Amino acid sequence: MSNIYDVLVIGSGPGGYVAAIRAAQLGLNTACVDKWKNSKDKTVYGGTCLNVGCIPSKALLESSYNYERATHHFAAHGVLVDNVTVDLAVMQKRKEKIVNTLVSGIDGLFKKNKITALKGSATIASIGDICEVTITENGTTETVQAKNLIIATGSVPRSIPPAPIDNKNIVDNEGALAFDSLPKKLGVIGAGVIGLELGSVWNRLGSDVRVLEALPDFLAAADTDIAKEAGKLFKKQGLAIETGATVTQAKNTGKQVAVKWEKNGETHSETFDKLIVAVGRAPYTDGLNADGAGLAMERGFITVDEQCRTRFANVFAIGDVVRGPMLAHKAEDEGSMVAELIAGQKPEIEYDCIPWVIYTHPEIAWVGKTEQELNAAGIDYRKGAFPFLANGRARGLGETDGMVKMLAAADDDRILGVHILGAGASDLIAEGVLAMEMGAASEDIARTCHAHPTLAEAFREAALAVDKRAIHI
Ligand code: FAD
Ligand code: NAD
């Protein structure tokens, strides 16, 4: 127990590993601990995002979309392919290789930055000028001391009593990313981000997918115009989305799952080969002793201020375990911010400028306020929208679904929100985020030259449309 670290980071997901790297870059003697074990019982860094979240889901989304293109879209290009089949084992191996490469990349980054990588389950023993944390691994416990703690313990899937997860037939994200055969009939509870992304993967590969959503509105967090249009497109793709559906029972019958739900006072039932439960995620602090160590908690989240400070000046918490959207890039930004605060810098995060992306096809991406939020807040705005149907590049790509919609303040034209439904929305939204971070007006975008032919021209046209002077519609 001789070494006193400047910073100990608990958790190595995108929040924790970025915090550790930034702290080390700033000359702080840093350690990071994680307890995640992979299927070979090896401790791996990278958290939910790298192991069972963002990365494996995007790998399968890409593979399944390639199959979808080959079977449904190539012919329109005059590219004729016969007998296209799926080798799911190869697809899963490719996904695993990507995960393993990125996960071992974190080991490399820790070494490069001289971060001490610790293995085991961390429990906060005491908080003071010097904090003490015990780390237990394979029955052995050691105590580590640090001047500052960064808690980045992430989140876990929520479950609901009628559908207990067994990760065989009733699965969470981890199980849903690892199917070794195609479920003929797939049920999904929750039409949120995971439900739509993983529902899309298996739907593209040939599963008959039904999504059961409790709320009456589809994608209530997205801009209404975008959610409506997306709902229509997903229906056309074969995703059967039932809103206002309350699941009352999910019974594992051995080989299948018998599900009952209520909608408009009527009881419905269907039997699925697999059922994915994707009803949100809960902050994770099991075994950490956050409460016992004196940290304030709220609904399971560790309470922090805008700068991720807890009630102790030298203890910070970041990422999914604190308020705000459960997104990898939000966790990363908070990780950098707290490392810089510890090093005496004065960083801050513009929380209104954190983008959301849903990696369906077409993709959905947004930043800032929706039209319904502006209306509810009584803020006057002007809006401009431009459909990809009128964009030359989108025509060439055969990706004409969707639109870019921009909302700007009625008084000073400042951009208040950007909402995109369309191919490449995940990359296009970066321009909206930058514009909002820089306090740009829609007129700034309207006067910025955009390369032709690109999808980004639709972004400029939406800005022109705010002033009713779009060129191509
Ligand atoms: P996590 O990544 O959850 O990491 C927490 C780490 O802490 C874990 O490794 C855990 O083992 C460790 N830990 C916990 N307690 C202890 C302890 N006591 N001792 C030691 N270690 C501990 N977000 C996006 O932005 N884009 C996406 O495309 C996206 N896709 C997703 C897809 C899926 C299927 C899922 C489930 C999530 C997705 N997310 C996505 C969300 C994203 O994964 C999370 O927001 C992100 O991982 C949060 O990072 P974090 O560092 O806060 O926590
Ligand atoms: P979510 O909050 O996105 O969606 C959950 C959905 O389930 C909601 O629509 C909710 O109304 C519904 N629901 C809740 N209880 C229900 C019930 N009993 N019956 C039927 N429906 C019910 O949650 P998620 O899809 O589980 O994803 C968790 C989080 O992970 C996301 O909020 C997001 O932060 C993160 N994530 C992000 C991405 C991305 O950025 N692309 C991808 C996947 C996950």
Going from the N-terminus, what domains does the chain have, and what CATH number goes with each? Answer: 4-156+282-349 (3.50.50.60), 170-273 (3.50.50.60), 353-466 (3.30.390.30)
Phi-psi region of 324 (alpha: psi -120 to 50; beta: other; left: phi over 0): left
Cα gap 281→144, rounded to integer Å: 30
**Number of the ligand closest to the Cα of 245:** 2
**Number of the ligand closest to the Cα of 150:** 1
Q: How far is the CA of 291 from the centre of ligand 2 (A)?
A: 27
Kindly state the helix (H) or strand (E) to which residue 16 belongs, with its residue range.
Answer: helix 14-25
Which are the contacts of 171, defined by CB distance < 8 A and separation ≥ 6?
A: 165, 274, 275, 276, 277
Model pLDDT for residues 267-326, shown as the tens digit of each residue: 999 999 999 999 999 999 999 999 999 999 999 999 999 999 999 999 999 999 999 999
Q: How far is the CA of 200 from the centre of ligand 2 (A)?
A: 14
Of all residues in the chain, the percent with pLDDT exceeding 90 is 99
Residue 3 has what pLDDT? 87
Model pLDDT for residues 168-180, shown as the tens digit of each residue: 899 999 999 999 9
Q: How far is the CA of 190 from the centre of ligand 2 (A)?
A: 6
Helix (H, G, I), strand (E, B) or coil at 393: helix
Nearest-10 Cα torsion for 118, 119, 123, 128: 0
Contact indicator for 219, 230 with CB cutoff of 8 Å: yes
Reported confidence tier of residue 1, pLDDT bands at 50, 70, 90: low
Kindly state the helix (H) or strand (E) to which residue 14 belongs, with its residue range.
Answer: helix 14-25
CB atoms within 10 A of CB 222: 23
214 Cβ closer than 6 Å to some ligand 2 atom: yes
Model pLDDT for residues 26-57, shown as the tens digit of each residue: 999 999 999 999 999 999 999 999 999 999 99
Active-site residue flag, 450 = no
Q: Cα dihedral sign for 156, 157, 161, 163? A: negative
Q: Cα dihedral sign for 224, 226, 231, 232? A: positive
Cα gap 92→455, rounded to integer Å: 31
Q: How far is the CA of 49 from the centre of ligand 1 (A)?
A: 5
Show the tokens assigned to 203: 């739907």
Model pLDDT for residues 206-259, shown as the tens digit of each residue: 999 999 999 999 999 999 999 999 999 999 999 999 999 999 999 999 899 999
Q: Which residues line ligand 1 (CB under 6 A)?
A: 10-16, 33-36, 47-49, 53-54, 57, 121-122, 152-155, 173, 194, 284, 287-288, 319-320, 326-329, 331, 359
**Number of the ligand closest to the Cα of 247:** 2
Phi-psi region of 188 (alpha: psi -120 to 50; beta: other; left: phi over 0): beta
Cα gap 306→462, rounded to integer Å: 32
Model pLDDT for residues 333-351, shown as the tens digit of each residue: 999 999 999 999 999 999 9
Q: Is the pLDDT of residue 24 over 60?
A: yes
154 Cβ closer than 6 Å to some ligand 2 atom: no
With the most atoms of ligand 2 within 8 angstroms of its CB, the residue from 173, 201, 239, 279 to mutate is: 279
Q: Is the pLDDT of residue 358 over 80?
A: yes
Reported confidence tier of residue 2, pLDDT bands at 50, 70, 90: low
219 Cβ closer than 6 Å to some ligand 2 atom: no
191 Cβ closer than 6 Å to some ligand 2 atom: yes
Mean pLDDT of 90-117: 98
**Number of the ligand closest to the Cα of 366:** 2
CB atoms within 10 A of CB 253: 9
DSSP 18-32: HHHHHHHHTT--EEE
Pairing of strands 415-422, 356-358: unpaired
Which are the contacts of 402, defined by CB distance < 8 A and separation ≥ 6?
A: 229, 230, 233, 362, 387, 388, 420, 421, 422, 423, 425
Contact indicator for 458, 391 with CB cutoff of 8 Å: yes
Cα gap 244→275, rounded to integer Å: 18
With the most atoms of ligand 2 within 8 angstroms of its CB, the residue from 61, 177, 189, 193 to mutate is: 193
Model pLDDT for residues 368-377, shown as the tens digit of each residue: 999 999 999 9
365 Cβ closer than 6 Å to some ligand 2 atom: no
- Closest ligand 1 atom to the C-alpha of 198? 34
276 Cβ closer than 6 Å to some ligand 2 atom: no
Mean pLDDT of 129-136: 98
Helix (H, G, I), strand (E, B) or coil at 165: coil
359 Cβ closer than 6 Å to some ligand 2 atom: yes
Cα gap 68→49, rounded to integer Å: 25
Over its C-alpha atoms, the chain yields an Rg (Å, rounded) of: 24
Mean pLDDT of 3-29: 98
Cα gap 408→402, rounded to integer Å: 20
Pairing of strands 240-242, 246-252: unpaired
- The residue whose CA is least distant from atom 26 of ligand 2 is 280
Q: Which of 73, 268, 452, 472 is catalytic?
A: 452
Mean pLDDT of 417-421: 98
Mean pLDDT of the chain: 97
